[in-house]
């Protein structure tokens, strides 16, 4: 997999992610980043910026890295890691835009969300676009991929988690919900929201009030608002 962009590249290097090759623009004016690249065991290739623009569509900030595909975490391992804390897990139901997933990873990292769960089918997966938009957060947030979201939610509820869905027609203002204890927050897809079978597993449904002409928020914006409200609600 190719990832690109300064922040994404720096986090991949810092976390010692296996890297096979690093491409650097010959005019890159970032001595720290160049030295970090040289300190890895990877092959470092300097290229004229015009050639890099052609190879990486010009959206690289002077660096691109060949890495192994991002690995998904095991759900049981994530749950075990969260045993002794009031964990927050985000479930993304049918999200298809990699830019949204990347942005949600950034917000999740900023607000100490413990993990993100996505379905294997009809959903965006971890790719280079997600990595670029996440600006390195992909290296720090556990992402779990499951075959059945509804069954996963049933399992989490048996383990003591409360499931809170974010829906346009949710019955409770998101600012009035109690977010104490172990919780799962469910964010629906960009167009359809939360699917019926997943919504049936939600213990509560909350809404974000909107007062404009278009009653629709981007999924990543909605997620960020809810993540920060959870922090505020918990006194952080």
Q: Give the pLDDT mean for 67-74.
A: 87
Q: Give the pLDDT mean for 207-220.
A: 84
Report the range of poorest mean pLDDT among 27-36, 101-110, 127-136, 185-194: 27-36
**pLDDT of 153 above 70:** yes
- Give the best-scoring range by mean pLDDT among 32-46, 50-64, 84-98: 84-98
Q: How confident is the model at residue 58 (pLDDT cuts 50, 70, 90)?
A: low
Q: State pLDDT tens for residues 196-212.
A: 999 999 999 999 998 88
Higher pLDDT, 104 or 8: 104
Task: Give the Å distances, CA to CA, from 13 to 8, 31, 42, 58.
Answer: 9, 15, 10, 21
Residue 200's pLDDT is: 95
- Answer yes or no: same fold for 2-67 and 75-233: no
Higher pLDDT, 90 or 63: 90
**pLDDT of 110 above 70:** yes
Higher pLDDT, 117 or 168: 117
Ordered by start, the domain boundaries in the chain are 2-67, 75-233
Beta strands in the chain (DSSP E): 2-4, 19-25, 43-47, 63-67, 88-93, 115-119, 142-146, 162-166, 172-173, 183-188, 204-207
CATH 3.40.50.720 fits 75-233, yes or no: no
**pLDDT of 15 above 90:** no
Between the two ends of the chain, the Cα-to-Cα distance in Å is 37
- Topology of the domain covering 2-67: 60s Ribosomal Protein L30; Chain: A; (3.30.1330)
């Amino acid at each position: 997999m190719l990832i690109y962009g300064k922040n994404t590249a720096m986090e991949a290097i810092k976390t010692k992610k296996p890297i096979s090759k690093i491409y650097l623009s010959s005019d890159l004016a970032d001595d720290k980043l160049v030295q970090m690249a040289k300190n890895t065991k990877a092959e470092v290739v300097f290229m004229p910026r015009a050639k890099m623009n052609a190879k990486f569509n010009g959206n690289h900030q002077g660096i691109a890295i060949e890495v192994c595909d991002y690995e998904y975490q095991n759900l049981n391992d994530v749950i075990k890691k969260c045993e002794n804390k009031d964990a927050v897990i985000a479930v993304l139901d049918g999200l298809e835009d990699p830019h949204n997933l990347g942005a949600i990873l950034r917000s999740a990292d900023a607000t100490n969300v413990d993990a993100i769960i996505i379905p294997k089918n009809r959903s965006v997966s971890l790719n280079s676009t997600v990595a670029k938009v996440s600006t390195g957060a992909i290296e720090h947030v556990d992402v779990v991929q499951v075959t059945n979201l509804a069954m996963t939610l049933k399992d989490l509820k048996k383990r003591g988690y409360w499931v809170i869905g974010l829906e346009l027609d949710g019955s409770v203002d998101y600012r009035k919900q109690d977010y104490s204890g172990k919780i799962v927050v469910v964010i629906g897809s960009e167009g359809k929201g939360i699917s019926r079978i997943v919504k049936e597993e939600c213990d509560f449904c909350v809404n974000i009030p909107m007062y404009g002409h278009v009653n629709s928020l981007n999924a990543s914006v909605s997620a960020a608002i809810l993540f920060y409200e959870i922090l505020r609600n918990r006194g952080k």
